Structure 1
Amino acid sequence: MFDLNRLRVMKVVDKGPVPLPPLDGNYTPDKVGPLRTDLKPLEIVQPEGPSFTINGHEINWQKWKIRFGFTSREGLVLHTVSYLDKDELRPILYRASLSEMVVPYGDPTAPVNRNNAFDAGEYGIGALANALELGCDCLGEIKYFSANLVDGEGNAIVIKNAVCLHEEDFGILWKHTDWRTGQVEVRRSRRLVLSSISTVGNYEYGFFWYFYQDGTIQFEVKLTGILHTQALEPGERVPYGNLIAPQLVAAHHQHFFNVRMDMMIDGVGNSIYEVNTSSMPPGPDNPYENGFIPVSTQLTTETEAVRDMDIRSSRYWKIVNPGKKNHVGDPVGYKLFPGENAFPFASDNSSLIKRAGFLKHHLWCTPYRAEEKYASGDYPNQHAGGAGLSSWVQLNSVTSVTHFSFGAAA
């Protein structure tokens, strides 16, 4: 343990000598031999160029209009995302970004028990962005954007090719075969991809915003890199990690991401509803007892809108604008699909949960406040805890902005 303020070593953890694992674990081609050669080339060709147009940091593609930025802490940030519906440009998102990212380890022994990295709030996902390369990180007709940031001493720096923009074929969007006439109709799907990749120590994180032709927006994080490992005595095993090679253990850990989405569906004044599907009671309206219905409940305050996933009721959430109706008379809105997720395994009394209280729930909704951007507060590094979403919702104001947390265990 090192005190950066006093520049003094405060504590040394020495578990004694452990023999080196017998395998070297090198992964570079010069160490592992030639890579696979049995795949023939797959070319992605757009002879007329890409379908998007760019004006500075504004992108126009299909019906989409997207502005984006890049910060040291969050990395990619979306601004004023809109969709052109006939002659009307309809707003969807005012701002969206990675709010926080935490990687807690499950090894209770020193020094790994202190490994609870806040990769956004402590290190800065944007500051650790890769300089991307054509043909390696992205394929096809690519447009790159550099990130203009500052280092820890306030000096201007440029990360070349920090953001990648390209199109991808995404298989079938819609298909139907009329078995009466034999007529077949197929519409292929194409999506626009806005992405960046950051290296945080031993891990790489790829952040991908996808925009689809049917109006869907998707955020995906791809995890890669190498494992954080420790040497063990011959024949030794530990319950809090997996033996991945002789005398080499990788500790169990989790990766959590929180995304802040400031929704603006057809303007301000959006509301959020939770939708749970329930079985209909038996009776005259359900004689075969097979009926089930979705039940929508408005979440009106911040404490009401601290929610968790529930696969038993196929739970999802929808953000609607009650002031504007669609063609069947219902309020226009967007549906939030939760996808894969997890809960933390650390105790509520742990330093991790005190500093990252947002991990305890999947959905948090707060009204727009410009200063409330980061799920763990402005300064999570060595913070005593209690900042961020878990404290903001205590105001119990009317809901609006949506924070969605998702995680995985490894």
Structure 2
Amino acid sequence: MSTALVRTTHPLAPLTADEIDTAREVLAGEGLVNDSTRFVYVGLEEPAKAAVLGHKDGDDVERRLRVLLLDRATGLGTDTVVSVTQRSVVTSTEVDSTADGHVPILDVEFEDIESFLLESPDWLAAMEKRSIDPSKVRAVPLSAGVFGHEDEVGQRIVRVLAFFQEDCADLPWAHPIDGVVAYVNLTERRIAKVVDEIELPVPAERGEWNAAPHASAPRTDLKPIEITQPDGASFSVHGNQITWADWKFRFGFDVREGLTLHQLSFADGGVDRSVIYRASIAEMVVPYADPSPVRYWQNYFDQGEYLFGRYTNSLELGCDCLGEIQYFDVTIADESGKPRAMKNAICLHEEDYGVLWKHTDMFNGMTETRRSRRLVISFFLTIGNYDYGFYWYLYLDGTIEFEAKATGIVFTSAYRGEDGYSTEMAPGLGAPFHQHLFSARLDMAVDGSVNAVDEVDAVPVPMGPENPWGNAFRAQKTRLSKESDAQRLADNLKARVWHVTNPTKQNRLGQDVGYALHPEGQPVLLADPASSIAGRAAFATKHLWVTRYADDERYPAGDFVNQHPGQAGLPAFVAQDRSVDGEDVVLWHTFGLTHFPRPEDWPVMPVDYAGFKLKPVNFFDRNPSLDLPASPTKHCCAD
């Protein structure tokens, strides 16, 4: 067996098919794979930050993969790390399903659930009572959560809601069979329980976007918009490194986190100045507000429970992306541990973004306008009923923005009336109130790894000798010195932002260089603090957490979210109460949507948006976009 290290371009280079094949072969050779074993997760085990920062071109790199395995026959999960360069298993640990939760849910575990329903006398009785043909019932298996049910402890469970489908073109989401739910034991491959609360009418109106009688012919009054760049795009790509204007960064892809950005820097005076070491959306949760006996448990962690990156769309020019596009394929592992290529998974392009700066001066006759543009790197996925787009934007003035786009079809129920917890979308069709809450993990590196965080509020100055007319206000800064202090809520009434500064670096005016996190300030988790979901999604109870960097602190809800009892991830990290003043710090930012569905969201929801911005504050000596040329006169018009 060879133990020589292989050369690769960079420690953060994307996974290859050969590496996935090697990992599978090594695990099989060590007896960790049998006929009932499935590969749940295969991802790059990123080297320690110090090793990445110290890497030089041509250096040898050891490549390690983290692999989660599930033995479907026993329900046992195994957490392994494989060195594909050394062709050896580095670590292998059995997952304690009682204390630590279960590995994520597999697609293959969903495939036979409708057949389980057809074998359940209780389920068939529930359908017969409703005069529903069981063969026309579509099962929607969903993560179970943890609610103190003793018979579920240590068991691998999902809960199943059902929808009626009249024919192959019918949209099942339009016909929820509400009032009944099945609990499925995935290991024993059987229905463990059926809860039949109440008989509710199944909404009858069809829900396809072009279904009669509401369908209309496509309009013909909109003229084409063409996006052209005759001289090509302004970015350059070398492997997984992208350079655009003054920006430079690497990108990666992980089936749990999706698109990841690494080592973002901005060239200033010929020097690449670091801003962020690693940026990702590390978790999301979709908690529902319906407390009924058949729906109280609806809380989905689309990343930690489902590994949503597996459902990435292959993007299409002219539909998903427009203009001078570069696509990137992504290689992941399927549930047999074999490589699977996802074509056109990531889209890179530039967009015009209106006016960047402009002034017409009354004194010196200055008349100058510069147009803004932004670099966009994105991916889109479909998970169940919802579709999500994840977009990172880089701007010429040093701004970084993230935007989540939510669309698709709202999850439906029967409508129980105005005093219930849903909106009526069509006759008898409800859409429960819910939230989409995301956690951005921002491993900051503002001009280096020594950073501090200040909460900055706009506060009025009381009237008095120093403010006799009462008009004064100022920026009040509060240093977040320890992890116990750095669990914060946004406050839009105070224009609250958080400054990440480097106290060892100053601009020409003597100000600490920094970047400001601008939150949208929408609600955090609305569930009761004593609820199960508040314990399991504790990250979503605050807009901001600041922690000191640790290599093994990757996920805000913990490593194993599926049926974890709670308090993993950020609550465990901050229990150490480490200093975050002048340290290597990570910001965890909660943002998202609180969705009271509207009839206008049916049958397909127009895109709704959520996100945040990072803007330079004292990072530059002055506006960094002053070097932009004026637009060619042939593109401008004046009378």
Shorter-chain TM band: over 0.9
CA distance in 1, matches of 2:472, 2:252: 47
Matching of residues 53-132 of structure 1 within 5 Å: 53-132=236-315
CA distance in 2, matches of 1:337, 1:165: 24
CA distance in 2, matches of 1:276, 1:258: 23
CA distance in 2, matches of 1:26, 1:238: 28
CA distance in 1, matches of 2:330, 2:297: 32
Report what 2:147 is aligned to: none
TM, length-normalised to structure 1: 0.96
| Alignment pair present for 1:408 and 2:590 | no
8 Å Cα contact 1:129/1:159 also seen in 2: yes
Match of 2:470 among 283, 289, 303: 289
Please tell me the residue identity of whatever aligns with 2:561: P
Shift of residue 79 of structure 1?
0.5
| Alignment pair present for 1:203 and 2:367 | no
Report what 2:405 is aligned to: 222
Please tell me the residue identity of whatever aligns with 2:208: N
8 Å Cα contact 1:29/1:35 also seen in 2: no
8 Å Cα contact 1:242/1:250 also seen in 2: yes
Please tell me the residue identity of whatever aligns with 1:401: V
CA distance in 2, matches of 1:285, 1:18: 67
Query: Which deviates more from structure 2 when the two are superposed, residues 338-347 or residues 79-88?
Result: 338-347
CA distance in 2, matches of 1:348, 1:398: 26
Report what 2:193 is aligned to: 11
Shift of residue 248 of structure 1?
0.5
Q: SS at 1:11's partner residue? A: strand
Go from structure 1 to structure 2 and tell me whether the alpha carbon gap of 1:222 and 1:208 turns closer, same or farther (over 3 Å shift): same
Shift of residue 263 of structure 1?
0.4
Matching of residues 7-406 of structure 1 within 5 Å: 7-15=189-197, 17-28=199-210, 32-232=215-415, 236-399=417-580, 400-406=585-591
8 Å Cα contact 1:49/1:141 also seen in 2: yes
In structure 2, stretches of 5+ residues that fail to align are 1-182, 596-639
8 Å Cα contact 1:19/1:232 also seen in 2: no
Please tell me the residue identity of whatever aligns with 2:342: I
Shift of residue 8 of structure 1?
2.1
CA distance in 1, matches of 2:501, 2:571: 24
- Which stretches of structure 1, 4 residues or longer, exceed 4 Å deviation after superposition? 28-31
Please tell me the residue identity of whatever aligns with 1:20: V
CA distance in 2, matches of 1:178, 1:229: 56
Go from structure 1 to structure 2 and tell me whether the alpha carbon gap of 1:285 and 1:219 turns closer, same or farther (over 3 Å shift): same
CA distance in 2, matches of 1:141, 1:122: 36
TM, length-normalised to structure 2: 0.62
8 Å Cα contact 1:19/1:231 also seen in 2: yes
Shift of residue 34 of structure 1?
2.6
Q: SS at 2:308's partner residue? A: coil
Q: SS at 1:109's partner residue? A: coil
8 Å Cα contact 2:415/2:423 also seen in 1: no
Q: SS at 1:265's partner residue? A: coil
Go from structure 1 to structure 2 and tell me whether the alpha carbon gap of 1:174 and 1:20 turns closer, same or farther (over 3 Å shift): same
Please tell me the residue identity of whatever aligns with 1:152: E
Cα distance per residue 1:6-32 (max 9 Å; x no partner): 222111133455433242111148983
The count of residues paired between Structure 1 and Structure 2 equals: 408
Shift of residue 153 of structure 1?
3.2
CA distance in 1, matches of 2:322, 2:592: 28
Which protein has the larger Cα radius of gyration, Structure 1 or Structure 2? 2
In structure 1, stretches of 5+ residues that fail to align are none
Query: Which deviates more from structure 2 when the two are superposed, residues 24-33 or residues 146-155?
Result: 24-33
Shift of residue 181 of structure 1?
4.6
CA distance in 2, matches of 1:212, 1:134: 23
Q: SS at 2:305's partner residue? A: helix
Q: SS at 1:168's partner residue? A: strand
Report what 2:53 is aligned to: none
Please tell me the residue identity of whatever aligns with 1:137: D
Please tell me the residue identity of whatever aligns with 1:153: S
RMSD, aligned CA = 1.6
Cα distance per residue 1:94-115 (max 9 Å; x no partner): 0010111000000111332221
Cα distance per residue 1:73-99 (max 9 Å; x no partner): 000000000110011110111001011
CA distance in 2, matches of 1:325, 1:286: 31
Shift of residue 133 of structure 1?
0.8
Cα distance per residue 1:356-387 (max 9 Å; x no partner): 11111110000111111111000010001110
CA distance in 1, matches of 2:336, 2:462: 65
8 Å Cα contact 1:26/1:32 also seen in 2: no
CA distance in 1, matches of 2:545, 2:485: 9
Cα distance per residue 1:193-229 (max 9 Å; x no partner): 0000111100011100000000000011011001111
Please tell me the residue identity of whatever aligns with 1:322: P
Cα distance per residue 1:268-305 (max 9 Å; x no partner): 11111111121113223212111001011211110101
Identity %: 47
Q: SS at 2:196's partner residue? A: coil
Query: Which deviates more from structure 2 when the two are superposed, residues 28-37 or residues 18-27?
Result: 28-37
Please tell me the residue identity of whatever aligns with 1:46: Q
Q: SS at 1:391's partner residue? A: helix
